[in-house]
Amino acid sequence: MTADPYAATESETSQGRVFTVTGQDWDSITAGINEEHDNKVVVNMGPQHPSTHGVLRLILELEGETVTEARCGIGYLHTGIEKNMEYRSWVQGVTFCTRMDYLSPFYNEATYVLGVERLLDVEDQVPEKAQVMRVLLMELNRISSHLVAIATGGMEIGALTVMTIGFRERELVLDLFELITGLRMNHAFIRPGGVAQDMPPGGIDAIRDFVALMKKRLPEYAALCNANPIFKARLQGVGHLDLAGCLALGITGPVLRSTGYPWDLRKAQPYSGYEDYDFEVVTRDSMDAYGRFRIRLDEMWESLKIVEQATKRLVDLEGAPVMIADKKIAWPSQLSIGSDGMGNSLDHIKHIMGESMEALIHHFKLVTEGFRVPAGQAYVPVESPRGELGAHVVSDGGTRPFRAHFRDPSFVNLQATSVMSEGGQVADVIVAIASIDPVMGGVDR
């Protein structure tokens, strides 16, 4: 009988025996651990659990209600996106990576595209309007992502009103995404050289209406939660992680800023023209789940400020191009949404198919084969709602990525689970995980 390659491995440390869990039967795990501990129990929370913030498996060792050890089991949402991108053109890669962190797809697209543009050495050729639209969409996306973080975090501790109004507001942002890109998610809208299409008619007015409404709605969250004694009792002092711990583990985003350290790549390493926008980096010094909630709430206000500034710039850029002028990268005719809200408009099809044989041939080669990217590698990180998100893009000079690897903040930040949870109560594990706000699509990719 051959040995089980997935069986629990056992090793000795200064603190006693350690069991490494790699997905085997639960009986084989508890059999070894039960020999060691008489008064402790191992509990499997997830991966299908209403409060684990996605398909996350938590292996908790408990002594009564106290968590003595917490470990993450990941891989239940694995998609093979990074490997698949090696078999698609550089433009098609956007269609894959937008699906990783599905709550902040524009950030996945942006970091990948910025890396490709650096390899192409065309960063200075990307039109200003395209950069403004990227910033606009990313900040709207930050609002929608934070709304989900607050809504699901509230739901997991029983604050159902926070959940319902959070998803109510998120729908408004998704409506804007659908108006601008044609899709609620999985947009593939940010492309190498610019964006897929211009702002649609009525887009500016819709954004202005949304900003005005959100300025009325955001105070509702503050009224429901900020001074709520039950809410504060559940969050204050829970999930504690100080600056030294964040730096040791590579933690970024609201978790890092809750230690008082104002690290934000939009200010520290600006991209897409963020240095030209007026906004503040929100910090708190509580180092707990409550501080992270307050940071996300305040960051939505800052994002609204950036959206307003971007909207004003778009008005002044009416009619400006949204794609690079280099026809070796840009498609001969820009995509546009048809009157039914789907597919290409008849004007686009007429131009490509009926007016220019050269454009049709060139379009066909660009779409099917793609453009070549000079050999090299690039890493351009962006400040996603969860922290530093970066794409390490490697080219061998061909029409497809040789390698595309993403530094996803959810994956890195999940390391803090054990530090935040051990020594606390079982109920506090849920709060700690929610304050990290991991998205498992980005963790497993």
Domain check: are 118 and 233 in the same one? yes
User: 47: cis peptide before it, omega within 30°?
Assistant: yes
What is the pTM for the complete model shown? 0.86
- Asked whether residue 358 is domain-assigned, the answer is no
Domain check: are 64 and 92 in the same one? no
User: H helices of 98-159, where?
Assistant: 105-120, 128-156
Query: Of the ranges 28-42, 139-153, 183-197, 227-241, which one carries the lowest mean pLDDT score?
Result: 28-42
Q: Kindly report the CATH number assigned to the domain that includes residue 390.
A: 1.10.645.10
Integer angstrom CA distances of residue 375 from 121, 367, 396: 11, 21, 4
Looking at the predicted structure, is the pLDDT value of residue 17 above 80? no
- Asked whether residue 179 is domain-assigned, the answer is yes
Domain check: are 42 and 177 in the same one? no
193-239 tens-digit pLDDT: 889 888 888 889 999 999 999 999 888 888 887 888 888 888 888 88
Supply the DSSP string of 55-124, one letter for each residue.
S-EEEEEEETTEEEEEEEE--TT---HHHHGGGS-TTHHHHHHTTSSTTSHHHHHHHHHHHHHHHHT-GG
Domain check: are 111 and 212 in the same one? yes
Looking at the predicted structure, is the pLDDT value of residue 52 above 90? no
Domain check: are 307 and 208 in the same one? yes
DSSP at 124: G
- Asked whether residue 31 is domain-assigned, the answer is yes
In sequence order, what are the residues at sequence separation of 6 or more whose Cβ sits closer than 8 angstroms to the Cβ of residue 414?
56, 72, 74, 436, 438, 443
Domain check: are 387 and 247 in the same one? yes
Nearest to 134 by CA among 81, 187, 75: 187
Find out whether 233 and 166 touch, Cβ atoms under 8 Å.
no
- Asked whether residue 206 is domain-assigned, the answer is yes
Domain check: are 36 and 85 in the same one? no
Q: Can you tell me which residue has the tokens 């890396």?
A: 115
Domain check: are 178 and 47 in the same one? no
Find out whether 296 and 149 touch, Cβ atoms under 8 Å.
yes
What confidence score (pLDDT) does residue 228 get?
A: 81
Q: From CA 17, how far away is CA 10, in angstroms rounded?
A: 7
- Asked whether residue 363 is domain-assigned, the answer is no
Look up the domain containing 49 and give its range: 9-73
Domain count, the chain: 2
Find out whether 44 and 57 touch, Cβ atoms under 8 Å.
yes
Q: Can you tell me which residue has the tokens 């937008």?
A: 98
What confidence score (pLDDT) does residue 146 get?
A: 92
Domain check: are 292 and 312 in the same one? yes
Domain check: are 39 and 107 in the same one? no
- Asked whether residue 360 is domain-assigned, the answer is no
Helix (H) or strand (E) holding 293: helix 289-316
Give the end of a domain, one of 28, 51, 73. 73
Domain check: are 204 and 227 in the same one? yes
Q: From CA 150, how far away is CA 233, in angstroms rounded?
A: 16
Q: From CA 206, how far away is CA 226, in angstroms rounded?
A: 30
Find out whether 133 and 168 touch, Cβ atoms under 8 Å.
no
- Give the SS3 label for residue 211: helix
Domain check: are 255 and 313 in the same one? yes
pLDDT band at 251 (very low <50, low <70, confident <90, very high): very high
What confidence score (pLDDT) does residue 430 get?
A: 87
